[in-house]
Chains A and B, each alone.
Chain A
């Protein structure tokens, strides 16, 4: 399996522009997570989907952020309009939810710089 696939790997954009990050989870996984990582705050959960349904979006910083999962094999995280403080690494992760604990597999991240 190719693992969790994210695109783009790197993006530099101007403040005010729309940014769309894409994720393809591991086939067969039913949970998908979007995380943001910064030096100051470490890894933070933004939103979590189970069976394509958003379960917990309490980590989404503000209305400028939105996430969708139209099907089991694709998700997007959109920032509109982007701001310099959004600069971070955004990770998508997926897992197969089970009671006794589940390994969460991370993608390689999308490195976003907003100037």
Chain B
């Protein structure tokens, strides 16, 4: 069964600090992995998309890594800001005959305190 597991479930950090969110997946065959940010009361917004051949991708203060061998990904947030408080969702897209089928993680709720 395709699964995506994220850790931690929730995280509280102080403004200005860095943090790393984890994502482990068992989706096969693998097509790509996405990280989304979802603010409270809003729809998810795409941060990064990585395919099998990409190890790292950055979007401003957000840097995602992918290890396709161990089926792990991380999202690193540098110099956190209050506006980073949100739910971060890891999403894995299947390939092959299941092309485009997305498996969602439960998300990590990040709270940044001043």
Residues of A within 8 A of B (CB): 4, 31, 42-45, 48, 56, 91, 93, 97, 100-109
Contact = CB atoms under 8 A, between A and B. Distances in A.
Contacts of B104: 42-44
Interface string B20-55: 000000000001101010000011111001010000
Secondary structure at the B interface, as helix, strand, loop or mixed, is strand
B102 interface: yes
A56 B51 contact: no
B93 A101 contact: yes
Nearest to A33: B102
16 contacts: A31-B100, A42-B104, A42-B105, A43-B44, A43-B89, A48-B100, A91-B43, A97-B100, A101-B49, A101-B93, A103-B46, A104-B34, A106-B43, A106-B45, A108-B42, A108-B43
B46 A105 contact: yes
B113 interface: no
Contacts of B107: 42
B71 interface: no
A105 B34 CA distance: 12
Contacts of A100: 32, 51
Contacts of A4: 43
Contacts, number: 43
Contacts of A107: 43
A45 B102 contact: yes
Nearest to B105: A42
Given A100-B51, A106-B43, 6 more contacts: A45-B101, A91-B44, A101-B51, A101-B93, A104-B46, A106-B45
Contacts of B100: 31, 48, 97
A103 B52 CA distance: 16
Contacts of A101: 31-32, 34, 49, 51, 93
Nearest to B53: A100
Given A42-B104, A109-B43, A103 B49 contact: yes
